[in-house]
């Protein structure tokens, strides 16, 4: 409901009404199913995954409590049974692991799967997660006119590269990150009439260049902002080659 309200509303007045319905549902859910410590009263991995995936929690304490519940239960099972809790759980598993700072565990689970043992929903969920969170391609609005490039990049020992393309109505979107000796390389392509929000990890002693040039000398960059170890850029359509490396 929350996701649909942002795109299905035909007037400026409809989105708040639809979003209000979602907020009321969330409040009633918390009253019915959370205890005083923020834990979920339904002790199943499917319930925990759905709760975490669909934004039914509002405070950091609630999210931490339910995440802990889920991980304690989930870590006792074999990787081959990771997607065995039904369609909603299969759809939610990998994004939840990434959002709760267990992205490397999600990668390990995917690498241990046997494709012939996966359900169609699990296949689709893995494909979406690989494009969305590993390669980093996502929509910031209807139709991919505004594109998000925000890959979750693990240590090179676990995964050294990822590449994906998506054929949108504006043209092909591509994302490719890989480690080289001099640092992290990230190449993206945005079709005409689109813009992109790029998120890159950057350590304290590292710098980012585009096609060998400093950021301030590239006119296609609309804005830059750094928060901690994350650099956020807004770019126009085109092809870009970022390098994150120590100077």
The pTM (predicted TM-score) of the whole model is 0.85
Sign of the Cα pseudo-torsion (235, 239, 244, 247, in order) = negative
Task: Give pLDDT, residue 11.
Answer: 66
Q: What pLDDT band is residue 3 in, cutting at 50, 70 and 90? A: low
SS (H, E, C) the chain: CHHHHHHHCCCCCHHHHHHHHHHHHHHHHHHHHECCCCCECCCCHHHHHHHHHCCCCCCHHHHHHHHHHHHHHHCCCCHHHCCCCCHHHHHHHHHHHHHCCCHHHHHHHHHCCCHHHCCHHHHHHHHHHHHHHHCCEEECCHHHCEEEECCCCCCCCCCCEEEEEEEECCEEEEEEEEEECCEEEEEEEEEEEEEEEEEEECCCCCEEEECCEEHHHCCCEEEEEEECCEEEEEEEEEEEEEEEECC
Residue 198 pLDDT > 90: yes
Task: Give pLDDT, residue 185.
Answer: 95
Average pLDDT over residues 213-235: 87
The pLDDT tens digits for 9-21 are 666 677 777 778 8
The pLDDT tens digits for 73-95 are 898 888 888 898 889 999 999 99
Task: Give pLDDT, residue 12.
Answer: 66
Whether the Cβ atoms of residue 152 and residue 98 lie closer than 8 Å to each other: yes
| Backbone angles phi and psi of 47, in degrees to 5 | -60, -40
Pairing of strands 146-149, 183-201: parallel
């Amino acid at each position: 409901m929350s996701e649909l309200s942002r795109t299905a509303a035909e007037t400026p007045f409809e989105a708040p009404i639809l979003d209000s319905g979602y907020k009321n549902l969330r409040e009633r859910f918390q009253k019915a199913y959370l205890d005083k410590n923020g834990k979920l009263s339904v002790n199943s991995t499917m319930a925990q995954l759905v709760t975490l995936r669909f934004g039914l929690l509002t405070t950091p304490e609630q999210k931490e409590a339910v995440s802990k519940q889920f991980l304690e239960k989930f870590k006792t099972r074999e990787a081959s049974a990771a997607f065995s809790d039904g369609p909603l759980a299969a759809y939610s598993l990998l994004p939840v692991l990434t959002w709760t700072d267990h992205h490397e565990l999600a990668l390990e689970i995917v690498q241990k799967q046997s494709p012939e043992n996966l359900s169609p929903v699990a296949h689709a969920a893995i494909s979406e997660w690989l494009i969305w969170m590993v390669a980093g391609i996502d929509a910031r609005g209807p139709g991919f006119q505004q594109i998000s490039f925000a890959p979750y990049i693990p240590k090179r020992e676990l995964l050294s590269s990822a590449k994906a393309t998506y054929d949108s109505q504006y043209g092909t979107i591509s994302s490719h990150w890989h480690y080289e000796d001099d640092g992290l390389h990230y190449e993206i392509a945005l079709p005409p009439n689109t813009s992109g929000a790029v998120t890159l990890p950057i350590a304290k002693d590292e710098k980012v260049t585009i096609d060998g040039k400093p950021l301030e000398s590239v006119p296609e960059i609309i804005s830059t902002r750094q928060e901690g170890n994350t650099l956020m850029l807004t770019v126009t359509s085109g092809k870009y080659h970022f390098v994150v490396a120590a100077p």
